[in-house]
Amino acid sequence: MTQKKLEANKTIALVAHDHRKDDLIKWAAANKAALAQHHLMATGTTGRLIEEQLQLPVQKLLSGPLGGDQQIGALIAQGEIDVLIFFWDPMEAQPHDPDVKALLRVGIVWNIPMACDVATADFLISSPYMNGTYTAALTDYDEYKNRKL
């Protein structure tokens, strides 16, 4: 297994479906001081709302349905995102459901901490690892990449 060292200053991706944006904004406001210690990225509308409400800088990508979820997934695969907070709506089908599933899948593949609800996000943000270094184990995919088809 290979490893990836997460530094004390993390890059946190923030994503929320329309019916969960208020939940994410409330959570982010309650954790503003902690989030201010990190680099924040978000899909378009979510990023704009967080930036306006919290007065914190947020690197904004495209809106989720326009490719923002895929952009975040690509950044996870490149090792550019350390933590994913993704408040998705389990009660409503999304037009970009395949992108949502792919984003969650790539987060698992690259073993990044992920929260999809307030309780798990609270556990993550309050973890001593959030403001310290952490060495994450990564699966070695060389055998998979070099397989004969």
Rounded CA-CA distance 27/16 in Å is 11
Determine whether 22 is an active site residue: no
Q: Please work out, in degrees rounded to the nearest 5, the angle formed at the alpha carbon of residue 116 by the alpha carbons of 71 and 47.
A: 45
Residues in the chain: 149
Which run of H or of E encompasses 126?
Answer: helix 118-126
Query: In angstroms, rounded to a whole number, what is the distance separating the alpha carbons of residues 107 and 102?
Result: 9
Q: 69, 117, 122, 142: which is the annotated catalytic residue?
A: 69
In angstroms, rounded to a whole number, what is the distance separating the alpha carbons of residues 112 and 48? 24
Catalytic residues: 69
